[in-house]
A and B are shown apart, each in its own frame.
Chain A
Amino acid sequence: MTMLKGHQSWQFREKPVILSSATVVGPFEGRGPLAHDFDIVHDDSLVGQDSWEKAERTYLEEASKIALQKAGMTQDQLSFYLGGDLMNQITSSSYAARTLAMPYIGLFGACSTSMEGLALASYLISTGGARYAMTGTCSHNSTAEKQFRYPTEYGSQKPPYAQYTVTGAGAALVAGEGDGPRVAAATIGRVVDMGITDPFNMGAAMAPAAVDTIISHFRDLGVGPDHYDLIVTGDLAKVGFELATDLFDKHRIPMHKTRYRDCGMMIYDYDKQMVQAGGSGCACSAVVTYGHLLNKLRAGELRRILVVATGALMSPLALQQSESIPGIAHAVALEAPDHLMNKEG
């Protein structure tokens, strides 16, 4: 059962289980500090395909298939596949769903898609609307550059606050019962637009949405930052992270009582990799959560975490027509598997 808590949050009475998860990344992400948490690190970012778009889709197909394998299941056992990505017409997800041949719910939440998908999959499971559901998302540095910015080989100088789109995909298989990390609650965010118009400064566009969703989550569930061992935002990177910290201070949210991090700042090595402010893209929060963070929950190193995937709902066309960049963020609260949660009462 699910209960609507407060204005925009779901609290799951019987917490859905993440039976398995899988992550596949490109060579550049493989040189980052989280490389050992990923299932596959490809040494060719084209993965043998003849276009970047086809490569992006392949990453998602691989991640989904590995998640199925890990759970020892076949795709016909799954009720629904919930996926989305950054491409126009969410091409990568739809074509991956064509390959996977599962009933498919296409989502668009830009880089917030990972937690939007996980929240909805958990909701479907908790209401009995699905027995098993899979959610996945992907992004590719070269497809994002091509669609949102300039050709990959174009020699333009990126400002120090620009972000680097993560190449990779992450998928998670959610079920009603079983062993694995549990989904305790979710908060669906509002679209927040603070008037940022610089397409390179995505962190600044998304930070207010992240803060809004986190504050709403605390209010709806009646908890504070100290309820969680770790709170991570999706891909605010250095600039957005600083702004979010400023906004938390302004709203007097005691974030010092927990650890607050950002996936966009965890995935790359700033000293060795030229990524300006940090990582971004749908895959950023997906691979960090489904790889690194779930591993920490499974090992009991973390007990309760809040993952807040952040998305810039940017359209190059709208920007050229003098519009600003709206941001959105969705939060999902995750817990360590039952036997680890009960150990210390």
Chain B
Amino acid sequence: MANNKIKKLTPTQQEYRQLALKRQPARPVLMNCLRAFLVGGLICVVGQGIQEAFMHFAGMTLKQAAAPTVAVLIAAAVALTAMGVYDKLGQWAGAGSAVPVTGFANAMSSAAIEHRSEGLVLGTGANMFKLAGSVIVFGTVAAFIIGLIRFVFGYGG
């Protein structure tokens, strides 16, 4: 796809594209990885702490504590989004704050807040899944395919 697009360009355009790529400052990949590792890891540690707390103080089993732990993380991410903090964290942490469940909560709540001005139904309701929607669609499709493979090969019961 990308190659087709480049082939259609004239030689002058191709030459300029090369120049533009050369002048484009590189993303600091190593630093980004390190930050993602730190922040992503930290979010997971916090999540683990919350889960331990539910097990220790509320007497839940490991399985029982899973759902309320995720709920607390989501609520915290939504609160940070509403306070205008999460996007700044995202610029610093990159994938570290985007990949965990808090990133998903941020994608939904930021879209919900953004379109509040167009009303609850056509604004918030209709646009809430604008970013997160495709995650759900392709997540479901992937789960279906994996399920099919499991069914055909009969592994795991």
Task: Give chain A's interface residues, CB within 8 Å of chain B.
Answer: 50-53, 146, 150-161, 193-197, 201, 204, 208, 238-239, 242-243, 246, 274, 277, 322
Q: Which residues of chain A come closer than 8 Å to B14, judged between CB atoms?
A: 195
Q: Which residues of chain A come closer than 8 Å to B25, judged between CB atoms?
A: 159-161, 238-239, 277
| A-B interface contact total, Cβ < 8 Å | 102
Instruction: With both chains docked as a complex, state the minimum distance between the C-beta of B95 and any C-beta of chain A, in angstroms.
Output: 8
B106 at the interface (CB under 8 A from A): yes
Contact A239 B24 (CB under 8 A): yes
Find the A residue at minimum CB distance from B111: A151
Contact with A along B108-126 (1 / 0, CB 8 A): 0111011101000000000
Where chain A touches its partner, the secondary structure class is loop
Contact B97 A196 (CB under 8 A): no
Q: Which residues of chain B come closer than 8 Å to A152, judged between CB atoms?
A: 87, 110, 114
Q: How many residues of B contact A (CB 8 A)?
A: 44
Contact A243 B20 (CB under 8 A): yes
Q: List 7 A-B contacts (CB under 8 A).
A: A151-B115, A155-B93, A155-B103, A155-B110, A161-B25, A204-B23, A242-B23
Find the B residue at minimum CB distance from A198: B24
Q: Which residues of chain B come closer than 8 Å to A150, judged between CB atoms?
A: 110, 131
Contact with A along B81-104 (1 / 0, CB 8 A): 110101111110111011000010
Bound-state CA distance A154–B114 (Å) is: 9
Bound-state CA distance A161–B24 (Å) is: 7
The 8 Å CB contact of B24, one of A146, A158, A204, A208, is A204
Contact B114 A146 (CB under 8 A): yes
Contact A155 B5 (CB under 8 A): no
Contact A243 B114 (CB under 8 A): no
Where chain B touches its partner, the secondary structure class is helix
Instruction: With both chains docked as a complex, state the minimum distance between the C-beta of A236 and any C-beta of chain B, in angstroms.
Output: 11
Contact A246 B17 (CB under 8 A): no
Find the B residue at minimum CB distance from A201: B24
Bound-state CA distance A246–B18 (Å) is: 13
The 8 Å CB contact of A194, one of B6, B16, B27, B114, is B16
Ranked nearest first, the 3 interchain pairs of A and B with the lowest CB-CB distance are: A155-B90, A151-B114, A51-B117
B64 at the interface (CB under 8 A from A): no
Contact B27 A159 (CB under 8 A): yes
Q: Which residues of chain B come closer than 8 Å to A196, judged between CB atoms?
A: 17, 20
Contact B103 A208 (CB under 8 A): no
Q: Which residues of chain B come closer than 8 Å to A146, judged between CB atoms?
A: 114
Find the A residue at minimum CB distance from B90: A155
Bound-state CA distance A163–B82 (Å) is: 24
Find the B residue at minimum CB distance from A193: B13
Contact A154 B87 (CB under 8 A): yes
Contact A195 B13 (CB under 8 A): yes
Instruction: With both chains docked as a complex, state the minimum distance between the C-beta of B134 and any C-beta of chain A, in angstroms.
Output: 13
Find the A residue at minimum CB distance from B32: A157
Contact B113 A153 (CB under 8 A): yes
Bound-state CA distance A154–B17 (Å) is: 30
Q: Which residues of chain B come closer than 8 Å to A50, judged between CB atoms?
A: 117
B58 at the interface (CB under 8 A from A): no
Contact A151 B20 (CB under 8 A): no
Bound-state CA distance A257–B23 (Å) is: 24
**Chain B stretch 1-52: residues in CB contact (< 8 A) with chain A:** 1, 5-6, 9, 12-14, 16-17, 19-20, 23-28, 32
